[in-house]
Amino acid sequence: MTKKIYVTEPALPPLDQFMPYLEKIWDSKWLTNGGPFHQQLEHELAEYLGVKHLALFTNATIALVTALQALRISGEVITTPYSFVATAHSLLWNGIKPVFVDIDPETFNLDPKQIEAAITPQTTAIFPVHVYGTPCNVDEIQRIADTYGLKVIYDAAHAFGVRCNGGSVLNYGDLSVLSFHATKVFNTFEGGAIICPDAKTKQRIDHLKNFGIVDEVTVVAPGINGKMNEVQAAFGLLQLQHIDDIMVRRALVAARYRDNLAEVKGIGLPVVPDVDQVNNSYFPIMVELDYQMGRDALYSYLQTKDVMSRRYFYPLITDFPMYRGLPSARLDNLPVARRVADRVLCLPIFPDLPLADVDRICDIIRTAPAA
């Protein structure tokens, strides 16, 4: 029986390497609340990523909610319909109105040309996503933000380790938020982080993620419980030892896909971003109208071959009931996002995916019967 191949599988180091960390946690009895592994992971991640300060979270959704609170964002925020729902949900959790604008047809990121027309007196921030780890047009977005006095918060869930213009893409904007979910390039089972530009901002965020507590008798804000525990942090430290090898192996898988699918009629390949370092967090293809079957038909056909691809991101955020009544969610406002969502298919990519399986997946796509 063929083993099912999913879009992603977590990179899991050998269990015997993890046991010494667990033994230290058990011996110390320090399970959470900024323990030694938590502090060590914050330091080592900041150093590895090339950022000044980093605040760890139990998951990225709480990190997004907290980032918006930390900058006291209110009113309207311009964002993308082409993302995971947590992006927009974090706005609603803060009582903020999302304003959706269309995406760039090559990068699938927020299109800067659409942003200025959406700005109103109620706009306070821009909330872009580095989709699939491809950097947004950070310079143009910052220019717009500076012109109109807006904050910029990047949902950088996919952008671990991505570098552009000589440094980390995470250093752009006022804050960036990473995800360390099990499906991500770097994971801590569940987890996330906010990249902070200075120590004062990190201190405020650290207070907000711990109920607003400063000390035993002082609470300065209505914070939340967003702390990462010691087991998550320990796993992150172990993952960090292997991350360079993980990046290399993901790159080999992506390159094999490109070589195999380059000449397949009707299959569009993702644009390779002109940056210093990519992370190949996903491998999306576009199933165009001249392919021998529709996108949904190919999705189902791959499943019959035990290949679990994913229509990611589909549906659009604006298709869900809590958003589709907004004026900015109109279909005629988002033609590019609609077209991409209807054609995208993410193929399996993870460090331990054998290249022989990549070849098999590509053969299935190449030889699929006409619908």
Query: Hey, which CATH number is domain 243-367, 3.90.1150.10, 3.40.50.1970, 3.40.50.300, 3.10.20.600?
Result: 3.90.1150.10
Question: What is the structure's pLDDT at 162?
Answer: 98
Write out the chain's pLDDT in tens, 371 residues.
468 999 999 888 889 999 999 999 999 999 999 999 999 999 999 999 999 999 999 999 999 999 999 999 999 999 999 999 999 999 999 999 999 999 999 999 999 999 999 999 999 999 999 999 999 999 999 999 999 999 999 999 999 999 999 999 999 999 999 999 999 999 999 999 999 999 999 999 999 999 999 999 999 999 999 999 999 999 999 999 999 999 999 999 999 999 999 999 999 999 999 999 999 999 999 999 999 999 999 999 999 999 999 999 999 999 999 999 999 999 999 999 999 999 999 999 999 999 999 999 999 999 999 97
Angle 66-70-74 (CA atoms, 0-180°, nearest 5)?
90
- Nearest CA-CA partner of 225 in 239, 208, 241, 249: 208
Q: Tell me how far apart the alpha carbons of residues 347 and 362 are, in angstroms, rounded to a whole number.
A: 10
CATH for 15-238 (3.40.640.10, 3.40.470.10, 3.20.20.140, 3.40.720.10): 3.40.640.10
How confident is the model at residue 347, as a pLDDT?
Answer: 98
128-138 pLDDT tens trace:
999 999 999 99
For residues 8 and 126, give the distance between their C-alpha atoms in angstroms, rounded to a whole number.
30
Q: Give me the residue spans of the domains in the chain.
A: 15-238, 243-367
Report the distance separating Cα 23 and Cα 109, nearest Å: 43
How many of the other CB atoms lie within 10 Å of CB of 64? 28
pLDDT at 1: 44
Contacts of 280 (CB under 8 A, 6+ apart): 133, 185, 247, 250, 251, 253, 254, 349
* pLDDT of res. 371: 79
* Phi, psi for 254 (deg, rounded to 5): -60, -40
pLDDT at 12: 87
Cα–Cα distance measured from residue 371 to residue 368, given in angstroms and rounded to the nearest whole number: 9
pLDDT at 3 (0 to 100): 86
What distance in Å separates the CA atoms of residue 291 and residue 211, rounded to the nearest whole number? 53
**CA atoms of 216 and 150, how far apart (whole Å):** 36
Radius of gyration (Cα) for the chain, nearest Å?
Answer: 21
Query: Distance from CA of residue 149 to its chain's centroid?
Result: 26
Three-state DSSP at 155 gives strand
